[in-house]
């Protein structure tokens, strides 16, 4: 049976861990955002998570969080709603993206390294699963999938599931995509990307760091959704054919021309 002194020591250690987790949550919260896709009237159509990686308004998230949307905003924990002005880069292969906000003076999260993670490493996630904004969870790294997942896996991430992934045992759900996965020091070690059963998967932060170093981050951000030029050409051709068909039907509805009516015996 444990002695009173041992129980007291465990209580102190538990209280210390609780205080450390609370302090970590407080440090992460101002740098994590809810990314909302909105309608023309401002209603929320879909949502995901992102986190600040540069003070001048750069936010990292998943490619699939922003893909296909034309209007988005970032909602901070203090209630601020900041428009997303464009995409700095978007990488479907790794399911990563960085967007630009119309906001400066932000607090970026420090990026750590993921190559030192091992099975059993403690991690924390702050995100917005199922619309439950700013949910904080603790878990562990279940496996380091250096070669991605098997070809017959049920995880549908296009090419991203063939890239290095971290398998996590942590509480999150849909809407948590793009959440930062951090270590006990608050350094980002991964970006949450998908869920399969009880397991969650994250892209290692080393992949994100490599993209941030390789991409030109200071060039003007492009619009969220660009219509490919061939779509414009096809739309023009379809519109032209439609007008021709309508014109032909209009002529047929009026009957043959006057000169033709005389020739064919139609009455005047």
4-8, 108-112, 173-177 — which is least confidently predicted?
4-8
Give mean pLDDT, residues 248-260.
56
Domain final position from 66, 101, 136:
101
Is 183 a domain residue? yes
Tell me which residue range forms the domain holding 246. 229-264
Which tens digits make up the pLDDT trace of 80-121?
999 999 999 999 888 999 999 999 999 999 999 998 899 999
31-40, 157-166, 212-221, 227-236 — which is least confidently predicted?
227-236
CA triple 96-100-104, angle to 5 deg: 130
Is 107 a domain residue? no
CATH code of the domain covering residue 140: 2.40.10.10
206 and 182 Cβ atoms separated by less than 8 Å: no
Give mean pLDDT, residues 176-180.
91
In this structure, how many other beta carbons lie within 10 angstroms of the beta carbon of residue 242? 10
Active site residue 177: yes
Same domain as 79, residue 128: no
Same domain as 253, residue 199: no
Task: Choose, from 64, 137, 179, 194, the residue flagged as catalytic.
Answer: 64
Which tens digits make up the pLDDT trace of 56-78?
999 999 999 999 899 999 999 99
Is 178 a domain residue? yes
Task: Choose, from 31, 63, 95, 206, the residue flagged as catalytic.
Answer: 95
Task: Choose, from 114, 177, 179, 194, the residue flagged as catalytic.
Answer: 177
Give mean pLDDT, residues 185-198.
84
Domain final position from 214, 237, 253:
214
Is 220 a domain residue? no
Active site residue 95: yes
Quick one: which of 58, 97, 119 has its CA closest to 207? Answer: 97
Task: Pick the more confident residue, 240 or 217.
Answer: 217
Active site residue 22: no
Quick one: which of 95, 109, 185, 106 has its CA closest to 149? Answer: 95
Same domain as 97, residue 11: yes
Res 137: pLDDT: 87
Q: Domain tally for the chain?
A: 3
What is the pLDDT confidence band of residue 41, given thresholds at 50, 70 and 90? Answer: confident
pTM of the model: 0.75
Same domain as 88, residue 8: yes
């Amino acid at each position: 049976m444990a002695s009173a002194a041992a129980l007291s020591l465990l209580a102190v250690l538990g209280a210390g861990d609780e205080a450390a987790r609370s302090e970590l949550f407080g440090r992460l919260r101002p740098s994590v955002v809810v990314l909302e896709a909105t309608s023309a009237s401002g209603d929320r159509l879909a949502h995901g998570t992102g986190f600040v990686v540069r003070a001048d308004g750069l936010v990292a998230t998943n490619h699939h969080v922003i893909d296909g949307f034309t209007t988005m905003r970032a909602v901070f924990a203090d209630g601020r709603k900041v428009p997303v002005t464009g995409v700095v880069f978007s990488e479907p292969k790794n399911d990563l993206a960085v967007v630009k906000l119309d906001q400066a003076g932000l607090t970026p999260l420090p990026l750590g390294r993921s190559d030192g993670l091992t099975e059993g490493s403690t991690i924390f996630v702050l995100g917005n699963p199922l619309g439950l904004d700013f949910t904080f969870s603790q878990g562990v790294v279940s496996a380091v999938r250096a070669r991605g997942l098997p070809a017959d896996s049920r995880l549908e991430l296009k090419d991203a599931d063939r890239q290095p992934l971290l398998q996590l045992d942590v509480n999150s759900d849909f809407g948590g995509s793009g959440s930062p996965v951090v270590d006990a020091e608050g350094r980002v070690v991964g970006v949450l990307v998908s869920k399969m059963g009880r397991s969650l998967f994250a892209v290692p932060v080393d992949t994100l760091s490599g993209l941030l170093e390789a991409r030109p981050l200071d060039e003007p951000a492009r619009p969220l959704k660009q219509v490919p030029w061939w779509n414009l050409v096809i739309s023009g051709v379809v519109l032209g054919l439609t007008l021709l068909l309508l014109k032909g039907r209009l002529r047929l509805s009026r009957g043959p021309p006057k000169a033709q009516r005389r020739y064919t015996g139609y009455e005047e």
